[in-house]
Amino acid sequence: MKFKTIIEPFKIKMVEPILMSTEEMRIQYLKDAHYNTFLLSSDQVIIDLLTDSGTSAMSNTQWSGMMLGDESYAGASSWFKLEKSIRDLTGMPYILPTHQGRAAERILYGTIGRKGKTFISNTHFDTTRANIEYSGAEAIDIPVKIENSNEHFRGDLDISQLKDLIKLKGAENIAAVILTVTNNSGGGQPVSMKNAKEVSEICKTHQILLILDGCRIAENSYFVKHFEPAFSNYSYQEIAIELCTFS
């Protein structure tokens, strides 16, 4: 009999102890939190599938990179490295860094959102919807229906519904179309380049702002390369760059 051992291709250099709760304890935690995961304290959670902001172990390269960081108030070399990387990837001339996506949303949707405006998305992330609705605007989700989707790209935005909403609301009342790649709140499903291009063309025709939320753009590029034949010879970076040109 042959045995196959699977191990991770790295060594952990630092560990943090966690509370190993019992099933009965976890049930009580959930009851006390009224079954709202946001009301749990972090020490009550053994495996965190909610937080996406860097709670895992960093590599030795990442730790050493922090030591090389330039914390100068102005003209920091770290800023120029960040600026170059973002421009190489997106081609965007202006860059405004924020500490987290939620902060970027607050600035963006607090500026362009207001009562009477509509935002359309393949699926709004929860904080995205909250920031939009806080401004007085409405947020509408139009993910592609499963029966109409490509099996590998079920994060697409429904083109037919988009056209109908533009007619119904009026292009002048649509603050933006938000395409999230991958479709984070839609189960992390990827978006095809074909769909992204169609959405872009519709937005340009009607002079509607298209916002690309690249929360999982690397993973989305992987699916495009392996399941969208027209891009099989592209690198992941080339796919990401082209996707950014649609916004």
> pLDDT by residue (tens digit) across 52-82?
666 677 888 888 888 888 989 889 999 999 9
How would residue 132 be classed by pLDDT, with cut points 50, 70 and 90?
very high
How would residue 41 be classed by pLDDT, with cut points 50, 70 and 90?
very high
Identify the pLDDT of residue 63.
86
Res 203 pLDDT > 70: yes
How would residue 10 be classed by pLDDT, with cut points 50, 70 and 90?
confident
Report d(CA 247, CA 242) in Å as an integer: 10
Domain ranges of the chain: 14-48, 99-244
What average pLDDT score do residues 197-226 get?
Answer: 96
**3-state helix/strand/coil string of the chain:** CCCCCCCCCCCCCCCCCCCCCCHHHHHHHHHHCCCCHHHCCHHHCCCCCCCCCCCCCCCHHHHHHHHCCCCCCCCCHHHHHHHHHHHHHHCCCCCCCCCCHHHHHHHHHHHHCCCCCEEEECCCCHHHHHHHHHCCCEEEECECCHHHCECCECCCECHHHHHHHHHHHCHHHEEEEEEECCEHHHCCECCCHHHHHHHHHHHHHCCCCEEEECCCHHHHHHHHHHHCHHHCCCCHHHHHHHHHCCC
Domain 99-244 has CATH 3.40.640.10: yes
Is residue 172 within 8 A of residue 206, CB to CB? The reply is: no
How would residue 18 be classed by pLDDT, with cut points 50, 70 and 90?
confident
Identify the pLDDT of residue 215.
86
Res 4 pLDDT > 90: no
Q: Which of 29-33, 53-57, 98-102, 183-187 has the lowest mean pLDDT?
A: 53-57
| Cα distances (angstroms) measured from residue 64 to each of 52, 69, 79, 99, 132 | 22, 9, 17, 20, 38
What average pLDDT score do residues 26-40 get?
Answer: 94
Is residue 176 within 8 A of residue 119, CB to CB? The reply is: yes
Identify the pLDDT of residue 54.
63
Identify the pLDDT of residue 58.
80
